[in-house]
């Protein structure tokens, strides 16, 4: 393509090491871009693949990151060190595109060393995730500085939702003209309704009975504790299936275990699957669920809602961040209002939020016609607005303006 010889993508997550929405985004975006222009992915891990148009190189962990220091600093220090290695390796690219704070410093340094424009995609923002102090200690100040440095020096910034763009303009010193909205996408062939249910039965879920589903990590951001707190008010004829693993901290993992045990003692049908399921199994869960619930307190976009909608499942989600740009209330699902305490991501009234989640879930699950209408409309919406092909083309057009 004239003026654009190769794209370099810097990322923490890349297959087989994908644990969140950012990793899903990078996997599919890089695949689609590689149909249009040569792509090199530099990622955290041991990957080493060199096909014609999609080269992948992994960067292994820094063994000394947690030695002779507060071990909570390890994540941020390791990211800094791997970013240095990513940036110093010879770069044959017309543009470097970073995803998440983990590699923003790599992009910042690569821009200086190799004289290439820097693009940063915002999947989430450190200033809006203060609970990470539990996970990183004061390493959170380092991750926040890395993120700010990369964003404010970027030549273009991609926000995955309009609400995320608003957050960037509010929190960072950047030119509004540099901040562009390009939504996340979905693989419409892979994510679709299926009648298969063997993955459910293997994990103790009865596919003949209706269930509400959660999929995600155990983290404050995803709001799973609020959904667990809603379980006593959820129709007892509904199974509650929690596909939730990888707790951010030992403390939140313990809190989750204790609360699930409490609600399980009050009613049957609470099934907690703690392993991270293969994608083909998760699709079976999405497709079989009566309702998918996304109770996030912070969600710049919420790609999991797209996944559920693509599988023709009705969605109940909190009305935060970019979720209202995905889920249309009264058309593809229900949005639950959520008011947060000023300067925090704690609900003003947690009991009310849990109650409202349960009410919305019951409303949809008790009305088969509504459930079916939301599911069909959700599939139409993702087909019309969220294909990766269109997203890759928009991203490539943005690159072209920089080279």
Which of the four pLDDT bands, split at 50, 70 and 90, describes residue 81?
Answer: very high
- Is the pLDDT reported for residue 131 higher than 80? no
Which of the four pLDDT bands, split at 50, 70 and 90, describes residue 386?
Answer: very high
- Is the pLDDT reported for residue 40 higher than 90? yes
- Over residues 63-91, the mean pLDDT reads 95
What DSSP character marks residue 2? T
Enter the pTM of the model: 0.83
Q: State the average pLDDT for the chain.
A: 94
Q: Do domains 7-185+387-400 and 198-385 have the same CATH topology?
A: yes
Q: In sequence order, which residues have a C-beta less than 8 Å from that of residue 141 and are 6 or more positions away?
A: none
Tokens of 112: 């200086």
Which of the four pLDDT bands, split at 50, 70 and 90, describes residue 246?
Answer: confident
Instruction: Give the CA-trace dihedral at 90, 100, 123, 139, to 10 degrees.
Output: -170
- Is the pLDDT reported for residue 382 higher than 80? yes
Buried b (16+ CB within 10 A) or exposed e, 1-11: eeebebbbbbb
Closest C-alpha to 335, from 299, 368, 311 = 299
Q: Which fold has domain 7-185+387-400?
A: Rossmann fold (3.40.50)
For 155-212, how does the pLDDT look when each residue is reduced to its tens digit (9 = 90+)?
A: 999 999 999 999 999 999 999 999 999 999 999 999 999 999 999 999 999 999 999 9
For 317-370, how does the pLDDT look when each residue is reduced to its tens digit (9 = 90+)?
A: 999 999 999 999 999 999 999 999 887 788 999 999 999 999 999 999 999 999
- Is the pLDDT reported for residue 1 higher than 60? no
Task: Return the pLDDT at 313.
Answer: 98
Buried b (16+ CB within 10 A) or exposed e, 94-126: bbbbbbbbbbbbbbbbbbeebebbbbbbbbbbb
Assess contact for 321 and 344: CB atoms under 8 A.
Answer: no
Task: Return the pLDDT at 248.
Answer: 83
Task: Return the pLDDT at 2.
Answer: 55
Domain boundaries in the chain?
7-185+387-400, 198-385
Q: For residues 309 and 337, what is the distance between their CA atoms, to the nearest angstrom?
A: 20
Q: Element (H or E) spanning 28, and its range?
A: helix 21-33
* Three-state SS at 152: helix
- Is the pLDDT reported for residue 51 higher than 90? no
Q: Which fold has domain 198-385?
A: Rossmann fold (3.40.50)
Assess contact for 72 and 137: CB atoms under 8 A.
Answer: yes
The 291-294 sheet, strands edge to edge: 270-273, 239-245, 211-217, 291-294, 314-318, 333-336
| Residue written as token pair 């693509």 | 310
């Amino acid at each position: 393509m004239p003026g654009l010889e190769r794209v370099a993508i810097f990322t923490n997550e890349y297959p087989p090491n994908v644990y969140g929405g950012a990793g899903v985004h990078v996997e599919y975006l890089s695949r689609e871009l590689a149909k249009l222009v040569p792509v090199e992915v530099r990622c955290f891990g041991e990957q080493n693949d060199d096909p014609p148009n999609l080269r992948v190189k992994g960067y292994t962990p820094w063994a000394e990151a947690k030695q002779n220091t507060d071990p909570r600093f390890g994540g941020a220090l390791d990211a800094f060190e791997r970013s240095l290695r990513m940036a110093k390796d010879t770069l044959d690219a017309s543009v470097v595109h970073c995803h998440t704070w983990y590699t923003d410093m790599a992009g910042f340094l690569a821009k200086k060393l190799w004289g290439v424009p820097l693009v940063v995609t915002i999947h989430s923002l450190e200033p809006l995730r203060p609970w990470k102090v539990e996970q990183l200690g004061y390493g959170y100040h380092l991750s926040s500085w890395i993120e700010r440095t990369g964003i404010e020096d970027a030549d273009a910034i991609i926000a995955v939702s309009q609400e995320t763009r608003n957050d960037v303009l509010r929190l960072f010193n950047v030119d509004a003209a540099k901040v562009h909205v390009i939504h996340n996408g979905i693989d419409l062939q892979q994510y679709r309704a299926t009648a298969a249910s063997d993955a459910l039965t293997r994990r103790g879920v009865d596919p003949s009975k209706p269930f509400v589903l959660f999929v995600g990590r155990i983290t404050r951001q995803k709001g799973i504790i609020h959904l667990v707190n809603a379980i006593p008010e959820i129709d007892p004829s509904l199974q509650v299936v929690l596909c939730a693993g990888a707790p951010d901290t030992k403390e939140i993992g313990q809190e989750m275990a204790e609360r699930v045990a409490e609600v399980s003692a009050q009613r049957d049908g609470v099934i907690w699957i703690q392993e991270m399921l293969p994608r083909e199994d998760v699709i079976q869960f999405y497709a079989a669920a009566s309702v998918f619930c996304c109770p996030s307190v912070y969600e710049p976009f919420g790609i999991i809602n797209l996944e559920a909608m693509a599988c023709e499942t009705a969605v109940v989600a909190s009305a935060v961040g970019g979720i209202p740009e995905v889920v249309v209330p009264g058309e593809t699902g229900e949005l639950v209002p959520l008011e947060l305490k000023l300067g925090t991501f704690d609900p003003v009234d947690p009991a009310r939020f849990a109650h409202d989640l349960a009410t919305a879930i019951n409303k949809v699950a008790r009305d088969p016609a509504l459930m079916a209408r939301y599911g069909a409309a959700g599939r139409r919406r993702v087909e019309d607005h969220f294909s990766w092909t269109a997203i890759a083309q928009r991203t490539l057009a943005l690159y072209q303006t920089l080279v």
